[in-house]
Amino acid sequence: MSQFFYIHPDNPQPRLIKQAVEILRNGGVIVYPTDSGYALGCMIGEKHAMDRIVEIRQLPENHNFTLVCSDLSELSNYSNVSNVAYRLIKNNTPGHYTFILTATKEVPRRLMTSKRKTIGIRVPDNKIALSLLSELGEPILSCSLILPGEEETQYDPEEIRDQLEKQVDLIINGGYLGQKPTTVIDLTEDTPNIIRVGNGAVTPFE
């Protein structure tokens, strides 16, 4: 049975943030709010937790996981970014985007797509998510909480509790959120490639 925290969306309680991060550090899977609906998250090095997320989402083998980062200072640790790509990312973060980039050797091989060696990177515009990242001190391995057979992210934390309380370790109630997932932009080539249209406007990348 998962824990269920009510965390204030504008003034996250430090005590609850610390407890949530401890659950992550102990190998847990959490549901947490972002600026594009709720997400599933775990620590980068926790293979068992990652496998649990794959099972919940019923993800295909080539799914791009996302490293949710606190700011752009972490980009160079996990991805190779051209000057053009960096400017595009800088001008559109924090926000409703996931950027597909070429992964560095710092990224565990199991997190990359097998053929292209890429990783998703994003910086959310959500105070709870940013508080978790600040306390954790490293990115959270994440994917949007889109349940099998559905196309939109989960937005109601009480419904999430009904559906997933036996499959995750913590559900953070950060209020009702939007249902659209992030817009996904592939920046591995010279020209941006729009992979998925979601919450973020595509105009800057066309």
The CATH number covering residue 60 comes to 3.90.870.10
The pLDDT value recorded for residue 48 is 93
Please report, for the chain, how many H helices and E strands are present, in that order: 6, 11
The pLDDT value recorded for residue 1 is 76
Is the separation of the CB atoms in 31 and 40 below 8 Å? yes
Residue 27 confidence (pLDDT) above 70: yes
Residue 21 confidence (pLDDT) above 60: yes
Q: For residue 113, name the pLDDT band (cuts at 50, 70, 90).
A: low
The pLDDT value recorded for residue 42 is 97
More confident residue, 111 or 150: 150
Is the separation of the CB atoms in 101 and 187 below 8 Å? yes
∠ Cα 199 115 168 (to 5°): 55
Residue 30 confidence (pLDDT) above 80: yes
Residue 59 confidence (pLDDT) above 90: no
The pLDDT value recorded for residue 112 is 61
Measured distance CA(69)–CA(123) in Å, rounded: 5
Full residue range of the structural domain in which residue 150 is found: 3-205
The pLDDT value recorded for residue 110 is 65
The pLDDT value recorded for residue 167 is 96
How many beta carbons lie within 10 A of that of residue 27, not counting itself? 15
What's the mean per-residue pLDDT of the chain? 90
pTM of the model: 0.91
The pLDDT value recorded for residue 36 is 87
Residue type at position 165: E
Closest CA to 107 of 146, 69, 54, 71: 69
- 43 alpha carbon, distance to own chain's centre: 11
Measured distance CA(16)–CA(144) in Å, rounded: 22
The pLDDT value recorded for residue 25 is 97
Count: domains in the chain: 1
Q: How many residues are given for the chain?
A: 206
Measured distance CA(153)–CA(146) in Å, rounded: 5
Q: For residue 134, name the pLDDT band (cuts at 50, 70, 90).
A: very high
